[in-house]
């Protein structure tokens, strides 16, 4: 019983980790129909072993498919750019291959007008001067260059904005949202928050 699967297993196993149950029918007397020996009783532990076995099999197949995709991308790039070794490939599965997405992102805490150069933000972590960023909300979007960072004042100075932006707009090194489950890129979202105060008596 202790060898049955009870959860996720490591994907680097060296032997088949699934322990089969040998099922036996009832042994009956052919003349009287009397059960001489009971067959294998179906317990929840057996059922859970089946379920985890199927689940872990699919986990392994998905991981194998991701690895195959990486190999395919690398071979394709080697054919088009010899000795590249996939340096510029990202299969969007959460792993990195010599490149990494810059995920620095912050919120604009006050609405800004066209021509604004100083943005008040929630934080300046991950940003630096001369880095290009995207400013966007649900209506407008543009790429600008950072000219100065003031961590104490929590401001980011950029080139004059061509558009106005709402409170809650994003300043991001990349406004791409990566879905590692579907292995695809989407447009990053933005949001504002409403706070309701409730008096407790």
Give tens-digit pLDDT for 151-192.
Answer: 999 999 999 999 999 999 999 987 777 777 777 777 666 665
Q: For strands 155-158 and 170-172, give the pairing.
A: unpaired
Query: What is the C-alpha to C-alpha distance for residues 157 and 118, in angstroms, rounded to an integer?
Result: 4
List residues bridging with 108 in a β-sheet.
121
The predicted pLDDT at position 88 comes to 61
SS3 99: coil
| Residue with the larger pLDDT of the pair 156 and 78 | 156
SS3 121: strand
Environment class of 106 (CB within 10 Å of its CB; exposed 0-12, middle 13-18, buried 19+): buried
Listed residue (144, 138, 139) closest to 116, CA to CA: 144
Query: What is the C-alpha to C-alpha distance for residues 185 and 179, in angstroms, rounded to an integer?
Result: 6
The answer for 48, left when phi > 0, alpha when psi is -120 to 50, beta otherwise, is: alpha
Environment class of 74 (CB within 10 Å of its CB; exposed 0-12, middle 13-18, buried 19+): middle
Model pTM greater than 0.85? no
The predicted pLDDT at position 84 comes to 62
Environment class of 64 (CB within 10 Å of its CB; exposed 0-12, middle 13-18, buried 19+): exposed
Q: CA gyration radius for the chain? A: 29
Distance set, CA 193 to CA 2, 25, 107, 154, 196 (Å): 50, 62, 11, 20, 10
Residue 81 pLDDT grade (very low, low, confident, very high; cuts 50, 70, 90)? low
């Amino acid at each position: 019983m202790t060898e049955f699967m009870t959860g996720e297993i490591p994907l680097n196993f060296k032997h088949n980790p699934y322990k089969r149950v040998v099922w036996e029918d009832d042994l009956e007397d052919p003349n009287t129909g009397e059960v001489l020996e009971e067959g294998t009783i179906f317990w929840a532990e057996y059922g859970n072993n089946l379920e985890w076995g199927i689940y872990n099999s699919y986990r392994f197949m998905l991981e194998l498919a991701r690895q195959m995709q990486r190999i395919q991308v690398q071979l394709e790039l080697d054919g088009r750019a010899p000795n590249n070794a996939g340096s510029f490939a990202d299969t969007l599965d959460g792993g990195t291959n010599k490149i990494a997405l810059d995920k620095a992102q912050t919120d604009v805490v006050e609405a800004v007008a066209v021509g604004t150069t100083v943005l008040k933000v929630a934080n300046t972590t991950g940003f630096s001067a001369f880095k290009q960023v995207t400013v966007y909300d649900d209506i407008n979007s543009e790429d600008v260059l950072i000219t100065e960072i003031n961590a104490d004042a929590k401001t980011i100075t950029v080139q004059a904005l061509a558009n106005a932006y709402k409170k809650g707009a994003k300043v991001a090194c990349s406004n791409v949202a990566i879905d590692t489950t579907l292995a695809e890129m989407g447009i990053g979202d933005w949001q504002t928050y409403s706070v309701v105060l409730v008096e407790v008596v």
